């Protein structure tokens, strides 16, 4: 999963990036850094720890999240031209939009601190970027329809109607994920990589003193931005960045003192998985214990293909045991004895936490 972190200058984007990755990317004083920071983070999953204890594998491999911290330059600016890095932003799976709620005299602000207004500015830039793509497509379709015989214009007219609906929605300020689209339509427009079609997690960056009342701030932001595939979370990026750079014992002590129950890395990943519809199935054995992310509802052959394309092509069946049943049994042999190890075929939808063993023909 690739997550793109965006926001206005001085919103705390890079502080959040460092909190999520345990990195030390420079936080620019002016808030206008031009570099895109990239890091890979292992997804926290306590189930892997338990399976590792049970199987004593040669290695344990968590799922991974790729974070890309994009420059603030361009967001909220008067020049609505598409920044050079927006093409790269279109390749991410979901957006993490950081909006500032903290007040700090040492950190400059262009106006009153208002997370709702900040979110609206970022959203407008995303809408304008998508609108430009839609308008270019409509221009091409207009040309195509003139070259097409009247009897053959049906598909072009249908596509034109679809993009005209996109244009109306965007001009009204609605993200494309608020447009009702079928699975087939989503597949057909996937190549356009629309920014407002991507699942979006809004992270409200509060000050340490605001943590106790952060829920009310979250609700106000969500009330202003209720769209499908949208969620809001709050945290103090500066505090989380400092905690991420401590060892586990010291971090746990400070978290208890501050009333922080979950670090940013776990919270953001969990919310992002929910938004993108991802789950993890597990494989376990003497060689490796591993988590594999798939889209919720994926059938067993598709899950096998995530491991290796040969497993999907030669799929016969999957041996499946729920993680909770395996833990209760204490071993795979005991799970089999209790009847918890099931044989599932091609139409089985894999469930989060399923431990799979794929049987296939070579």
What architecture is the 297-360 domain classified under in CATH? Roll (3.10)
Nearest to 248 by CA among 234, 230, 265, 236: 265
Would you call 42 helix, strand, or coil by DSSP?
Answer: strand
CATH topology for the 2-43+62-112+198-275 domain = Rossmann fold (3.40.50)
Percent of the chain topping pLDDT 90:
65
Cβ atoms of 338 and 329 within 8 Å: the answer is yes
Q: What are phi and psi of 126, to 5 degrees?
A: -65, -40
Question: Can you read off the two tokens belonging to residue 40?
Answer: 């890979």
**Mean pLDDT value across residues 223-244:** 91
Between 49 and 248, residue with greater pLDDT: 49
Q: What share of residues in the chain are helix, strand, coil (percent, to 5)? A: 45, 20, 35
Beta-carbon contacts of residue 222 (< 8 Å; ≥ 6 apart): 202, 230, 232
CA distance 228 to 183: 15
Q: Which residue ranges make up each domain of the chain?
A: 2-43+62-112+198-275, 127-195, 297-360
Q: What are phi and psi of 103, to 5 degrees?
A: -115, 120
From 25-29, 139-143, 153-157, 277-281, the region with the lowest mean pLDDT: 25-29
pLDDT surpasses 50 at 286: yes
Question: Can you read off the two tokens belonging to residue 135?
Answer: 């308008």
pLDDT of residue 28: 54
**Mean pLDDT value across residues 66-89:** 69
pLDDT of residue 244: 85
Neighbours of 140 (CB within 10 A): 11
Question: Taking the model in full, what pTM does it have?
Answer: 0.85
Beta bridge partners of 235: 205
CATH 3.40.920.10 fits 127-195, yes or no: no
């Amino acid at each position: 999963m690739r997550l793109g972190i965006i926001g206005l200058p001085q919103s705390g984007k890079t502080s959040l990036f460092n909190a999520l990755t345990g990195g030390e990317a420079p936080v620019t004083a002016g808030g206008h850094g031009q570099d895109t920071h990239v890091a890979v983070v292992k997804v926290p999953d306590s189930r892997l720890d338990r399976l590792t204890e049970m199987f004593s594998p040669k290695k344990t491999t968590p799922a991974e999240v790729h974070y890309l911290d994009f420059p603030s330059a361009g967001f909220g600016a008067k020049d609505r031209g598409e920044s050079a890095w927006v093409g790269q932003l279109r390749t991410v799976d979901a957006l993490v939009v950081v909006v500032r709620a903290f007040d700090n005299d040492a950190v400059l602000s262009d106006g009153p601190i208002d997370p709702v207004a900040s979110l609206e500015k970022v959203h407008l830039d995303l809408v304008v970027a998508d609108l430009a793509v839609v308008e270019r497509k409509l221009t091409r379709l207009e040309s195509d329809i003139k070259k097409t015989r009247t009897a053959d214009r049906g598909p072009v007219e249908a596509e034109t109607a679809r993009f005209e609906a996109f244009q109306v929605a965007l001009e009204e300020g609605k993200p494309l994920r608020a447009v009702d689209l079928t699975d087939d339509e989503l597949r057909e427009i996937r190549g356009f990589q629309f920014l407002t079609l991507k699942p979006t997690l809004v992270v409200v960056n509060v000050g340490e003193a605001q943590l106790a009342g952060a829920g009310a701030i979250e609700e106000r932001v969500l009330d202003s931005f209720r769209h499908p595939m949208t969620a809001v979370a709050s945290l103090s990026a500066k505090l989380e960045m400092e905690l991420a750079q401590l060892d586990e014992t010291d971090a746990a002590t400070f978290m208890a003192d501050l009333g922080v129950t979950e670090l940013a890395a776990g919270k953001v990943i969990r919310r992002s998985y929910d938004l993108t519809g991802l789950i993890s199935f597990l494989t376990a054995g003497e060689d490796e214990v591993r988590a594999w992310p798939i889209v919720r509802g994926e059938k067993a052959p598709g899950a096998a293909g995530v491991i290796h394309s040969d497993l999907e092509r030669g799929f016969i069946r999957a041996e499946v045991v729920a993680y909770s049943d395996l833990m209760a049994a204490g071993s795979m042999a005991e799970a089999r004895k209790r009847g918890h190890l099931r044989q599932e075929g091609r139409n089985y939808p894999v469930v989060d936490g399923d431990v799979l063993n794929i049987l296939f023909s070579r």
